Amino acid sequence: MRSLPALTASMLLAVSLAACSGSSPTPVTSESVTTVGPTGSPVKAVDDATWKVSKVQYRGRKGIEGFANTDSVLPGEPVTLYVSSPTKTYTVKAYRMSGKAKSGALRVWKSGTLTGTRQQATTTDSKTRSTSATWKPSTKVSTDGWTPGVYLFKLAATDGSASYIPLIVRSESTKGTVVLAMSNLTWQAYNTWGGKSAYTDDEQGGLKNREYAVSFDRPYVMGKGTGKYLSYENPVVLRAERLGIPLSYVTTLDVATRPGLLDGALGYVSLGHDEYWTASERDAVETARDAGTNLAFLGANISYWQVRLRESPTGPNRLIDIYKSQAKDPVKGKEATVHFRDIGRPERLMTGQMYECYPAKGTYTVLDPSFFLFANTGAKKGSTYDGIVAVEVDRAYPVKGTPATLQVVAKSATKCGKESTWSTSSYYTVPSGAGVFTTGSMGWILKGMSLNVPTSSAKFVGTVTNNVLTEMAKGPMGEQHPAEPNLASLNLPSTNTTGSA
């Protein structure tokens, strides 16, 4: 049943490539061999600082831009790129983000000179306002020999413009590894390509004319084409690779659509901004926890909105329904795209905490310096670290559904606008032995792993993150480090006091 559509797609790709360039496309070629990937195919890896796209080079729709037919592939699977170029020729290079490279990236492939054209075709669904780029495919790239990890394709036009297309070469199995999950469902919810996102209408502003569905069939605007990857995820990817622990790489879309993907994983890491989840993704992560997989949430506002997936012309699961309203959503009840907490699945059931507010600013304050993940930080009770509590925060709520074993290890006074509240970091354990750590601040990665915080704050965040990753890799943290519940003694409010959750 599947062979005929696959054959048709291949034929269409060949026709489209020729039509796009006006002649046979320039073949893409791999560089000479110096290393060998896990499939045995030759791949050259070169530490290359030219992977970076500058602010001047990234010009949005005025410059070169593109997207892929998928955000993740297994090693050896091809990926199709859709590119709009302002110039008649352009090139593509592929970089694996690497903590072991001095520049932060290894160049593993480069194209020849490709024939470019400006692609502008779009379609907008009148019911959902979802805009897609209905472009012709530009080139197809083999990932033969590419090791699992995060890759960025750098598109470069001859007018000096450049941008990225992200690709995760995912791990076929996560057994015995710490899983790094790239939050591409959230990247797409914030993507304003075409003028709208799940939040805003660029022309009119506000939420009135926002999209009720968002499409993967378009370039990412944020992060020079990477979505939120560079700001909220890359710092942890590089750090984790330097630790030498067993790692696997997936997207949140993979977790949502590939049953059993987390079987046997030692740990699962949700990165800096992981707001949009499907019910199946939530089920998969909670099931993994209950089977002994440690969880770490290195951000805030986690699993806040429930979304659904649908197919697009380029394939399955390429559209995300995000109505944010029972009334507007044609699907009612438990499958509606509303807050998880509105359908009986508050985020505290998984993370231990609840989304508190935006915009947040506070000073991270250690409550329990003896906490095992604070080892080697030099922290004392009451030690403070500026710059970490920022953007959005979560905190522990002394209410039904909060894990009974919850241990609050940091309690930070926080301002949200003019309102005062708290941000907390917490840890709890479950009968399977799994431990669950939540930082409670979106600033943990975005600010704490940048160069814009005091040195003491950066060292604290770096050491704690190293501890989290290495402890997760040892197996169920709760077996050696059972949580010491203390929530009842902290006099935290049981309701949101800022009105901005």
Q: What is the pLDDT of residues 216-245, one digit of tens each?
A: 999 999 999 999 999 999 999 999 999 999
Instruction: State how far the Cα of 492 lies from the Cα of 13, in Å rounded to an integer.
Output: 58
DSSP per-residue codes, 87-120: SSEEEEEEEEE-TTSTTSEEEEEE---EE-----
* The pLDDT value given to residue 7: 33
pLDDT at 501 over 90: no
Which residue blocks in 268-365 are alpha helix, DSSP H?
279-290, 348-351
* 188 confidence band (pLDDT: 50, 70, 90): very high
pLDDT tens for residues 322-344?
999 999 999 999 999 999 999 99
Q: What is the pLDDT of residue 497?
A: 84
Q: What is the pLDDT of residue 414?
A: 97
Q: Where are the domains of the chain?
A: 26-251, 266-304+346-489
Where does 187-256 show beta strands of DSSP type E? 213-215, 247-251
* Per-residue model confidence as pLDDT tens digits over 469-494: 999 999 999 999 999 999 999 999 99
pLDDT band at 500 (very low <50, low <70, confident <90, very high): confident
The predicted-structure confidence for 431-473, as pLDDT tens digits, reads as follows 999 999 999 999 999 999 987 899 999 999 999 999 999 999 9
**For range 28-52, the mean pLDDT:** 57
Question: Among 437, 459, 288, which Cα is nearest to 372's?
Answer: 437
Stronger pLDDT, 374 or 499, i.e. the higher one: 374
What is the structure's pLDDT at 120?
Answer: 93
pLDDT at 306 over 70: yes
- Quote the pLDDT of residue 206: 56
**Which pLDDT value is given to residue 92?**
96
Q: Which residues of 392-420 are buried (b: 16+ CB within 10 A; e: fewer)?
A: bbbbbbeeeebbebbbbbbbbebebeeee
- Tell me yes or no: is domain 266-304+346-489 CATH 3.40.50: yes
Give the pair of three-digit tokens for residue 113.
């000179």
Predicted model pTM = 0.90
Please provide the average confidence, as pLDDT, over all residues in the chain.
90
Class in CATH terms, 26-251: mainly beta
CA dist., res. 166 & res. 230, Å (int): 10
What pLDDT does 392 receive? 97
> What pLDDT was estimated at residue 97?
97
Tally Cβ neighbours within 10 Å of residue 335. Answer: 14
Strands (E), 302-451: 305-312, 315-321, 354-365, 384-395, 407-416, 419-429, 435-438
Quote the pLDDT of residue 41: 40
Backbone phi, then psi, for 309, in 5-degree steps?
Answer: -115, 145
Return the DSSP state at 136: P
Instruction: Give 483's contacts (C-beta < 8 A, 6+ positions apart).
Output: 405, 406, 407, 427, 428, 429, 435
